[in-house]
């Protein structure tokens, strides 16, 4: 067990939440009085079986595979407790069965969309739903437990196990005594971040300046006009999305490459122009900055940079500034350079201190329904979190015991629940098609506003890369 875990009683381990996990946990709890959870991750996959597999018992295969997944990723069984989290080593398969009874649900009545919209929670454990009518699988988890790419890798392993399922074969390879060895360290432990007390004065100044800038230019940056007042309570967490054709996606990738910019940078530049055009009156002179989720997995040492440590939160937030007076290509070029050069040893070494100061500033005026009216300015900007090429992490095709592909993922959706006035944009490519998905709360925005944001981003792209982009799905 990692040094920061303490064995309270035989088989019961506890660890204080810190760093990124603590910030995400505190945010998930901030709106519990409303019965809703902020930043709860969801991932929905439409599962298709090979023709001739009509008798394949998919619900049982999923439940059995879910239990196996728990052994490989025991963080799925960790529960929050006060200011920490607790792991209880299973004493028998009955403990694993009891966990599965709490977390695996075959849902005959509700739709995936209704569960996602409700944003109910926070729950102590993740959940995996199977919907027989639509053959969809829905994974839900608090963000302190896992990040977006980790979710994709986790489900990739799940479907890999499902494809190999054989009713006649009883999996007896569970080594329950050693399950704990598969627990993943926190981000700060994995990357070797220093304890705050061990940071130098220069490090402290660096972090304080960074967090001051972060909150000034991003958290309190350009906002969108929203419905209601400061007292308006949150309602359902909603989503709108559009998907480009494979031909348009391929053309956009080629056009960006020819101009020396990444697709993500082009989307970021288009989002900034959209924010400028929709900004609140008091924000019309501001430059654009938003919280950008950055994947740290690629920078972690082995084995933490691989899929065996999928069930962890290995992301951080960045705040590049887009200058209002610059043009589209200048913005895209500067952002491309930023994406390639944001990582530094100083940033990683001071992550614990960064999240300590970030949490203090974020919750100085805790963002709860009861006290939002006291805030001078409620953040209502659009956060950006690019998932990149999903197929790199969720392959979408899985072979059975005979070597032939028996499980296909026909559809993919990802997002988070939002209880605040902020929106979050998730771009990704799956099966050669670019999707733009935006999450928001219906108490503060109409559906038309979310669709307008998406369409404006596409229009800005078209006008600056010389393409007509074909939208094949808008919902």
Query: What is the four-CA torsion angle of 294, 45, 153, 63, rounded to 10 degrees?
Result: 140
The bridge status of strand 423-430 relative to strand 382-384 is: parallel
- Helix/strand/coil for 238: strand
**DSSP β-bridge partners for residue 44:** 138, 413
Q: Helices 447-465 and 263-278 sit at what angle, rounded to 10 degrees?
A: 120
Beta strands in 164-251 (DSSP E): 237-244
Mean pLDDT over 271-291 rounds to 91
- Segment 112-146, tens digit of pLDDT: 999 999 999 999 999 999 999 999 999 999 999 99
pLDDT(249) > 60: yes
Between 169 and 72, residue with greater pLDDT: 72
Q: What is the band of 376 on the pLDDT scale with cuts at 50, 70, 90?
A: low
Give the per-residue pLDDT at 373: 47
Q: Contact at 8 Å (CB) between 105 and 113?
A: no
441 Cβ contact partners less than 8 Å away, ≥ 6 residues apart:
234, 235, 236, 237, 238, 418, 419, 420, 421
Burial string for 402-422 (b: 16+ CB within 10 Å, else e) reads eeeebbbbebbbbbbbbbbbb
Give the per-residue pLDDT at 166: 87
Q: What is the band of 424 on the pLDDT scale with cuts at 50, 70, 90?
A: very high
Q: Contact at 8 Å (CB) between 81 and 14?
A: yes
Q: State the SS3 of 105-126.
A: EECCCCCHHHHHHHCECCCCCC
Mean pLDDT over 329-335 rounds to 98
Give the per-residue pLDDT at 239: 98
Q: 211 exposed, middle or buried (CB, 10 Å; 0-12, 13-18, 19+)?
A: buried
Backbone φ/ψ region at 413: left (φ over 0), alpha (ψ -120 to 50), beta:
beta
Give the per-residue pLDDT at 264: 97
Give the per-residue pLDDT at 282: 84
Tell which residue, 256, 347, 248, 334, has the closest CA to residue 299. 347
- Segment 200-248, tens digit of pLDDT: 999 999 999 999 988 888 777 899 999 999 999 999 999 999 999 999 9
pLDDT(371) > 70: no
What is the pTM (predicted TM-score) of this model?
A: 0.95
**DSSP β-bridge partners for residue 84:** 16, 81
Q: Contact at 8 Å (CB) between 337 and 44?
A: no
Ranking 17-26, 187-196, 211-220, 385-394 by mean pLDDT, the lowest is 211-220
Q: Round to whole Å and give the CA distance between 454 and 437.
A: 8
Q: Contact at 8 Å (CB) between 474 and 267?
A: no
- Across all residues in the chain, what is the average pLDDT? 93
Give the per-residue pLDDT at 475: 81
- Domains along the chain with CATH numbers: 11-170 (3.30.559.10), 201-363+376-388+420-474 (3.30.559.30)
In terms of residues, how long is the chain?
Answer: 475
The bridge status of strand 405-416 relative to strand 397-399 is: antiparallel
The bridge status of strand 104-106 relative to strand 127-131 is: parallel
Show the tokens assigned to 80: 């929050």
Other CB atoms within 10 A of residue 474 CB? 12
Which residue in this structure is represented by tokens 């019965």?
35
Ranking 12-21, 137-146, 215-224, 432-441 by mean pLDDT, the lowest is 215-224
- Helix/strand/coil for 196: helix
Q: Round to whole Å and give the CA distance between 238 and 116.
A: 8
């Amino acid at each position: 067990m990692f040094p920061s875990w303490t064995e309270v009683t035989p088989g019961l381990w506890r660890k204080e939440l810190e760093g990124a996990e603590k910030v995400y946990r505190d945010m998930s709890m901030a709106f519990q009085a409303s019965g809703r959870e902020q930043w709860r991750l969801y991932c929905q996959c439409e599962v298709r079986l090979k023709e001739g597999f009509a008798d394949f018992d998919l619900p049982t295969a999923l439940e059995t595979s879910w239990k196996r997944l728990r052994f490989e990723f025991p963080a799925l069984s960790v529960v929050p407790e006060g200011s920490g989290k607790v792991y209880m080593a299973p004493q028998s398969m009955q403990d694993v069965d009891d966990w599965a009874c709490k977390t695996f649900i075959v849902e005959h009545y509700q739709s995936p969309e209704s569960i996602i919209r409700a944003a109910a929670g926070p729950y102590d454990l993740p959940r995996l739903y199977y919907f027989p009518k639509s053959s969809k699988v829905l994974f839900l988890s608090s963000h302190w437990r896992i990040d977006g790419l980790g979710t994709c890798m986790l489900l990739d392993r799940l479907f890999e196990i499902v494809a190999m399922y054989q009713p006649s074969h009883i999996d007896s390879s569970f080594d329950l005594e050693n399950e704990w060895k598969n627990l993943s360290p926190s981000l700060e432990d994995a990357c070797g971040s220093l304890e705050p007390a061990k940071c130098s004065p220069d490090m402290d100044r660096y972090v304080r300046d960074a967090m001051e800038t972060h909150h000034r230019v991003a958290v309190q940056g350009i906002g969108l006009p929203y419905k209601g007042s400061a007292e308006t309570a949150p309602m359902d967490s909603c989503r709108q999305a559009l998907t480009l054709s494979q031909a348009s996606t391929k053309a956009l990738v080629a056009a960006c490459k020819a101009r020396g910019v990444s697709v993500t940078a082009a989307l970021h530049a288009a989002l900034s122009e959209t924010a400028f055009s929709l900004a609140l009156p008091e924000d019309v002179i501001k430059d654009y900055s938003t919280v950008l989720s950055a994947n740290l997995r690629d920078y972690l040492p082995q084995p933490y940079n691989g899929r065996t440590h999928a069930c962890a939160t290995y992301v951080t937030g960045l705040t590049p500034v887009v200058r209002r007076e610059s043009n589209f290509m200048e913005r895209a070029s500067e952002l491309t350079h930023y994406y390639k050069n944001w990582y530094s040893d100083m940033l990683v070494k001071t992550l614990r201190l960064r999240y300590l100061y970030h949490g203090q500033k974020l919750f100085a005026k805790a963002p709860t329904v009861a006290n939002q009216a006291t805030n001078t300015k409620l953040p209502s900007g659009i956060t950006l979190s690019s998932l990149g090429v999903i197929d790199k992490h969720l392959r979408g095709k899985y072979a059975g015991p005979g070597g032939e592909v028996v499980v296909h993922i026909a559809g993919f959706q990802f997002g988070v629940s939002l209880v605040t006035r902020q929106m979050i944009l998730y771009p990704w490519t799956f099966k050669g098609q670019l999707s733009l998905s935006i999450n928001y709360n219906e108490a503060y925005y109409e559906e038309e506003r979310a669709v307008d944001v998406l369409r404006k981003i596409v229009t800005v792209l078209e006008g600056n890369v010389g393409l007509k982009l074909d939208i094949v799905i808008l919902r």
